[in-house]
């Protein structure tokens, strides 16, 4: 499934998904970024996992000291260079979030938003452990997923993407309970509040879980060593 994002749903196709988002989805995207920006200081080095074409990076650059974007799609990263105007404080790396090329305790804020914890198709426990490994003491790891209250809006957005040929035809027989299935094999799942709570308990890690705009669910880990 990772190949779907590295090939079919990358670069301009990925950007098109956001360009056609209806007003309620645009509001969700704005509030998600606004919440992220509230957690960031201008002195921070911020890492975004699954940065795509730079949609979020562009907002992070003026609000932090240094921004790093990681993605598995070279095509998306090439577009991100253009989209962020090749800003000298923005660095882009082709890598997987499963094994990040950073030293221990080297990043102030690590972001895995837009349901990346599900979309990456990486073991969530290993993903969070890797994020915690590279985050400084006193830093923050942020993970976000969808609120169940946003389900109908999310479905509508995905239908628009299917209509535009960006993803496969939706298989309505298999689409339910936070899972959107397409007939070409693409499947979008959801990391729920209960999933976050269970995982934090398993990792013996304290976290704050908050719903934003009745659309996003954030899991915020304040890292203390």
Please indicate, yes or no, if residue 216 is contained in any of the structural domains: yes
pLDDT at 5: 72
Asked whether 117 and 127 are in contact (CB, 8 A), the reply is yes
Structure tokens belonging to residue 178: 């936070």
Place 132 in a pLDDT band, splitting at 50, 70 and 90: very high
Q: What is the pLDDT averaged over residues 168-179?
A: 96
Structure tokens belonging to residue 89: 């404080």
Place 6 in a pLDDT band, splitting at 50, 70 and 90: low
Please indicate, yes or no, if residue 211 is contained in any of the structural domains: yes
CATH of the domain at 115: 3.40.50.150
Place 225 in a pLDDT band, splitting at 50, 70 and 90: confident
Q: What is the 3-state secondary structure (H, E, C) of 83-136?
A: HCCCCCCEEEEECCCCCCCCCCCCEEEEEECCCHHHHCCCCHHHHHHHHHHHEE
Q: Is the per-residue pLDDT at 95 higher than 60?
A: yes
Lowest mean pLDDT among 1-15, 83-97, 115-129, 149-163: 1-15
pLDDT at 2: 52
Please indicate, yes or no, if residue 25 is contained in any of the structural domains: yes
CA 106 to chain centre: 20
Please indicate, yes or no, if residue 178 is contained in any of the structural domains: no
Q: Which of 23, 56, 55, 26 is nearest to 39 (CA)?
A: 56
> Domain tally for the chain?
1
Give the pairing type, strands 180-181 and 187-188: antiparallel
The pTM of the full predicted model, rounded to 2 decimals, is: 0.95
Q: What is the mean pLDDT of the chain?
A: 95
Please indicate, yes or no, if residue 52 is contained in any of the structural domains: yes
Please indicate, yes or no, if residue 176 is contained in any of the structural domains: no
Please indicate, yes or no, if residue 173 is contained in any of the structural domains: no
Q: Is 150 helix (H, G, I), strand (E, B) or coil?
A: helix
Please indicate, yes or no, if residue 125 is contained in any of the structural domains: yes
Domain that holds residue 12: 2-159+191-222
């Amino acid at each position: 499934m990772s190949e779907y994002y590295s090939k079919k749903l990358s670069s301009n196709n990925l950007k098109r998904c956001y360009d056609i988002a209806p007003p309620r989805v645009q509001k969700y995207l704005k509030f998600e970024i606004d919440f992220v920006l509230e957690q960031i200081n201008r002195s921070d080095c911020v890492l975004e996992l699954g940065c795509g074409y730079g949609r979020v990076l562009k907002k992070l650059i003026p609000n932090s000291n240094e921004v790093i974007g990681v993605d598995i799609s070279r095509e998306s990263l090439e577009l991100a260079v253009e989209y962020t105007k090749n800003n000298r404080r923005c660095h882009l790396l082709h890598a997987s979030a499963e094994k990040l090329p950073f030293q221990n305790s080297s990043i102030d804020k690590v972001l895995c938003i837009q349901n990346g914890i599900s979309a990456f198709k990486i073991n969530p426990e290993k993903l969070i452990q890797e994020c915690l490994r590279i985050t400084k003491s006193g830093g923050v790891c942020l993970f976000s997923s969808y609120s169940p209250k946003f389900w109908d809006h999310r479905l509508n957005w995905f239908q628009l993407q299917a209509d535009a040929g960006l993803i496969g035809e939706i298989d309505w027989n298999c689409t339910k309970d936070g899972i959107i299935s397409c007939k070409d094999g693409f499947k979008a799942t959801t990391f729920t509040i209960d999933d976050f709570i269970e995982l934090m308990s398993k990792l013996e890690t304290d976290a704050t879980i908050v719903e934003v705009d009745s659309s996003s669910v954030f899991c915020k880990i304040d890292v203390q060593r």
